[in-house]
Amino acid sequence: MRFQIYRYDPDKDDKPYMQEYDVKLEATDRMLLDAIVRLKQQDDSLAFRRSCREGVCGSDAMNINGRNGLACITNLKDVQEPVVLRPLPGLPVIRDLIVDMTQFFKQYHSIKPYLINNDPAPEKERKQSPEDREMLDGLYECILCACCSTSCPSFWWNPDKFVGPAGLLAAYRFIADSRDQATNERLDNLDDPYRLFRCHTIMNCVDVCPKELSPTFAIGKIKELMVKRAV
Amino acid sequence: MSKNRIVVGAHYGLRDWIMQRVTALVMLAYTVALVVILLAIPHDHEGWRHLFANHAVKVFTLVTFIALLLHAWVGVRDLWMDYIKPVGLRLTLHVLTIIWLVAAFIYAVNIIWSV
């Protein structure tokens, strides 16, 4: 199988370049990650992240034939040759397919991604009705792989100011949580032309999400709550 | 400014966002009404002149121009916010955009009200 892979080692290379590979696959190689691991046996200088190899950890997010996705759950049957692999767009490259996610996680942390509840903790747990729990479906499943935020032009232009689809989905996950008591503070935090309203609803995020979540829905809900609060 | 500053919203943005949606509806209503009316009136200068001599038409037209101005303000401002990084240049472009939009509106008033 033929590959074109983005290579860049800042210690050795002046600038990034694309390297061609031809990899002989084994019968057991079914996912794109299998092929990249096979390729690393050929050329161990290639750097990439991977961990769980089953679409749960989000480590092996990369740009596959121009589209962000997880290598481990991308079937080799579904990719066109030559497979062009690049690092996630818009983030600084550390080496080859590895990007610096600092900016992404800074935005994630800025929305306080944890339950805020000032009531004394009950003996066992804070309970929710099945209906309240259902509100979190489609939100809690996010694995923070950054496929969505790095496919969003608004995040490319303003990664320091725009929270991005992943961060906003997480923000709504806590706004929607019946156990959370900081809805107003969370909405205040996002009432900003950059932090929330850089989203122009182009839905690249929904298009690429490997978990099939909809940050656009979450962003719409946040705006809806802001309107209800303000009008 | 400390790099560890607490992140909080600027407390504006929602109004601009709603304004852009509402003004879009006003422009849509005007466009539909204008198309319907233009199909109904005689297709000559006299018909056109007669239409815009009507005060309701003048007022609706100018309300739509105000909607257009506000809509374009948010849209063009968003462009500068997206792509122009130096703050001084961005502020200059903001001011020029406002002056241009207000000037265009005054010119529109002049034309519509002179019919």
Q: What is the pLDDT of residue A231?
A: 86
Q: Please name every residue paired with A58 in a beta bridge, in sequence order, or none if there are none.
A: none
Interface contact B46, partner A, CB < 8 A = no
CATH code of the domain occupying A102-230? 1.10.1060.10
| Number of A–B residue contacts, CB under 8 Å | 53
Q: Do B11 and A188 touch (CB under 8 A)?
A: yes
* B102 within domain boundaries: yes
Length of chain B, please? 115
Contacts of A214 (CB under 8 A, 6+ apart): A138, A205, A206
DSSP one-letter code for A81: S
Q: Is the pLDDT of residue B9 over 70?
A: yes
Task: Kindly list the residues of chain A whose beta carbon comes within 8 Å of any beta carbon in chain B.
Answer: 110, 154, 157-158, 188-198, 200, 223, 226-227, 230
C-alpha distance from A73 to closest chain B C-alpha (Å): 33
pLDDT higher than 90, residue A20: yes
Contact call for A193 and B18, based on CB within 8 A: no
**Mean pLDDT, residues A39-46:** 94
For chain A, percent of residues with pLDDT exceeding 70: 100
- Find the closest chain A residue to B17 by CA distance: A197
Model ipTM value: 0.84
* Exposed / middle / buried, residue B11 (Cβ in 10 Å: 0-12, 13-18, 19+): exposed
pLDDT exceeds 80 at position B7 = no
Amino acid B16 reads D
Model pLDDT for residues B29-70, shown as the tens digit of each residue: 999 999 999 898 888 888 888 999 999 999 999 999 999 999
Interface test with B, best of A105, A109, A155, A191 (most B CBs within 10 A): A191
Using CB atoms within 10 Å of the CB of residue A101, give its burial: 0 to 12 exposed, 13 to 18 middle, 19+ buried: buried
Q: Is the pLDDT of residue B1 over 90?
A: no
pTM summary value: 0.91
In a domain? residue B67: yes
The span from the CA of A60 to the CA of B115, in Å, is 66
- pLDDT given at position B5: 61
> CATH number, domain at B83?
1.20.1300.10
Picking from B13, B17, B83, the nearest residue to A157 by CB comes out as B83
CATH 3.10.20.30 boundaries in chain A: 2-99
Write out the CATH class of domain A2-99.
alpha beta
Instruction: Decide if B8 touches A, using CB distance below 8 A.
Output: yes
Q: Which chain A residue has its CA at the smallest distance from B77's CA?
A: A193
Average pLDDT, chain B: 91
**A189/B14 CB distance under 8 A:** no
| Residue contact B13–A230, C-beta within 8 A | no
pLDDT tens readout for residues B75-91: 999 999 999 999 999 99
Is it the case that residue B104 has pLDDT exceeding 90? yes
Task: Tell me how far apart the alpha carbons of residues A73 and A76 are, in angstroms, rounded to a whole number.
Answer: 9
Average pLDDT over residues A208-226: 97
Question: Nearest to residue B73, comparing CAs of B9, B112, B17?
Answer: B17
Tell me, yes or no, if B57 comes closer than 8 A to chain A by beta carbon. no
Closest residue on chain A to B10 (Cα): A192
CB A48 within 8 A of CB A96: yes
* Domain count within chain B: 1
**Contact criterion met (CB < 8 Å) for A223 and B81:** no
Residue A53 CB: number of other CB atoms within 10 A? 17
- Give the CA distances from residue B85 to residues A194, A195, B79, in Å, rounded to whole numbers and listed in that order: 13, 16, 11
pLDDT for res A150: 98
Q: Measured between CB atoms, does B79 come within 8 Å of chain A? A: no
The answer to whether residue B79 sits within a structural domain is yes
Determine if residue B61 is left, alpha or beta; phi over 0 gives left, psi from -120 to 50 gives alpha, anything else beta. alpha
Nearest CA in chain A to B16: A193
CB contact under 8 A, B10 and A193: yes
Residue B42 lies in a domain: yes
**Could B14 and A223 be called an inter-chain contact, meaning their C-beta atoms sit closer than 8 Å?**
yes
Neighbours of B32 (CB within 10 A): 10
**pLDDT at residue number B8:** 73
Instruction: Give domain status of residue B75, yes or no.
Output: yes
Q: Which of B1, B4, B8 to mutate to test the interface with A (most CBs of A within 10 A)?
A: B8
Residue B35 lies in a domain: yes
Instruction: Judge if the upstream peptide bond of residue A193 is cis by omega within 30 degrees of 0.
Output: no
